[in-house]
Amino acid sequence: MRLATARDELLPLYDARVQENSAYTTVVLLGRVITALGTLGAVTSAVVENMFASDVAFLQDFYRRINAEGHTRIAVTCPECSHRFTADLAGGRLGES
């Protein structure tokens, strides 16, 4: 996922699907900013709309972390030893996950 531009956030507002149902904004927006996902050649709004709701919720949170909070780190706890640490969901530079 890459950092969103103002254009990324504005263009969905002109999409007929969003005008009909504002909840579709998330689908169109994620389809624009997700640069790679597993072995898929391209990620489009059609791919996003067929995802499980829990996967879309994860991607929405990831989008928020990158664009609103400016980081992709989360606090995690090891299930075996209960050690708490921070992990970077992006695995690299900001906006290049």
What does the pLDDT profile of the chain (97 residues) look like in tens digits?
A: 888 999 999 999 999 999 999 989 999 999 999 988 889 989 999 999 999 999 999 999 889 888 887 666 777 788 889 888 777 766 554 444 4
Domain boundaries, the chain: 6-71
- Predicted pLDDT of residue 65: 84
- Predicted pLDDT of residue 21: 93
- Predicted pLDDT of residue 31: 95
- Predicted pLDDT of residue 75: 77
Give, in order, the Cα–Cα distances in Å from 81 to each of 12, 30, 77: 45, 35, 8
- Predicted pLDDT of residue 25: 94
Q: How far apart are the first and last CA of the chain?
A: 5
